[in-house]
Amino acid sequence: MSNTEVLSFSGRIRRSDFFKAVLILGLIQGTASFVFQGAGTGFIIFINLIFSIITLSYHVRRLHDIGMKGTIAIMPFIGLFLFIPSSYWGGFTFWLIQIYSAWFLYLALLDSEPCSNAYGESPKPLADDMIVSSQIKNRQMIWKVLAIVTVSLTIFSSIYDFITGRPMGRAYEFQTALYPWGVAILLGLIIFDKTKKQILTYISIIYQFALEIPLHIFFLWFYPWKYDNYNIFKHISIQDFLISIVGRFYTVIIFILFLYIMKKIKEEKELSPVFFMLPSVISYVWGLFFEIYKNGLECFAEGTGIEGFNRGWQSFLFTGGFKFTFTIAMICIYNRMKMRFLQNQIK
């Protein structure tokens, strides 16, 4: 049975009840934050804490319903990082929210486990001969929802860029509105890839990761072709040139990881979701260490959490939510892998 109590950390809640509750809570929290925005930081923290606890209880029950431990659901509390006096933590918070939101959207879309589990009876029991076919339909629905979310986000971002002129500085120009589609097309090759050999996915990851350093060197070396006798090392030192390469080396690591993932899927071996989370983590951690190397630990003490969060939000808007959409693309690869295993069970 679906446990729809407002504040309960036990039992299970089915998908439809979860989405209704989270939507209502989000509307109430947003309204409360707007109404009391002049009441001071302490009161705003208190409001966010209360709603985070209530939201946490629903997240825990939704995870229970699909057979997972509720400890993953502590992520709603990440918003409290915004009140740490450092713009880095604000940016870190926004990055985590994007990754968590994408993965939790996927988890929330999963149908209830049809049988009893350690957390209670199933709110949606099924006959044994219906389980696999129901799971395949569920994963097909998940792919459609993720595709719709991606397209909707890209369209919204295009409208935002067209009106504001970001990031190209020219409002109400058609070219500006096309900016988010560059991101969307590359990631869309992965999200919409229905080819048997995942050819579109390979094209996307080769362009995004395998060619990153070669293209960087090409444009660094040959872009100023209009200048006669141009010598790159008269303008930057060899050390700076190598540092620029090292700063992008994470793309090589991610490309190798992708090849490993695709190889295992081709061999019909199931991989842990961790492998599909790693690309986002690798790029962020690499960028963090590179930033510390260049600028020291000062990045942890500058600005405020709200400032860093706002910068992340602005970047999200005009790029079509690249980090979020990239995570969605990884989830789509994972979802296809799971669907392939289910289809093999029917055969």
What pLDDT does 343 receive?
A: 86
What pLDDT does 240 receive?
A: 79
| Cα atoms found within 13 Å of the Cα of residue 95, Cβ hemisphere only | 17
Mean pLDDT over the full length of the chain: 83
State both tokens at 58: 């629903």
Segment 56-111, tens digit of pLDDT:
888 899 999 988 888 777 765 665 665 666 777 777 878 888 888 899 899 889 98
The CA distance from 39 to 91, in Å, is 25
The CA distance from 161 to 249, in Å, is 30
Segment 152-200, tens digit of pLDDT:
999 998 888 888 877 666 667 777 777 788 888 989 999 999 888 899 9
Q: What is the mean pLDDT of residues 216-244?
A: 68
First to last CA, the chain: 33
Segment 11-54, tens digit of pLDDT:
888 888 898 888 898 888 878 877 777 776 677 778 878 888 88
Percent of the chain with pLDDT over 90: 25
Q: Give the pLDDT band of residue 254 (cuts 50, 70, 90).
A: very high
The mean-pLDDT minimum among 35-39, 202-206, 281-285 falls in 35-39
Q: What is the mean pLDDT of residues 251-275?
A: 93
The CA distance from 231 to 272, in Å, is 48
116 to 66, 97, 122, 137, 309: CA distances (angstroms): 10, 31, 5, 21, 41
pTM to 2 decimal places: 0.85
What pLDDT does 25 receive?
A: 86
What pLDDT does 149 receive?
A: 93
The CA distance from 62 to 2, in Å, is 10
What pLDDT does 235 receive?
A: 67
**In the chain, where are the structural domains located?**
126-346
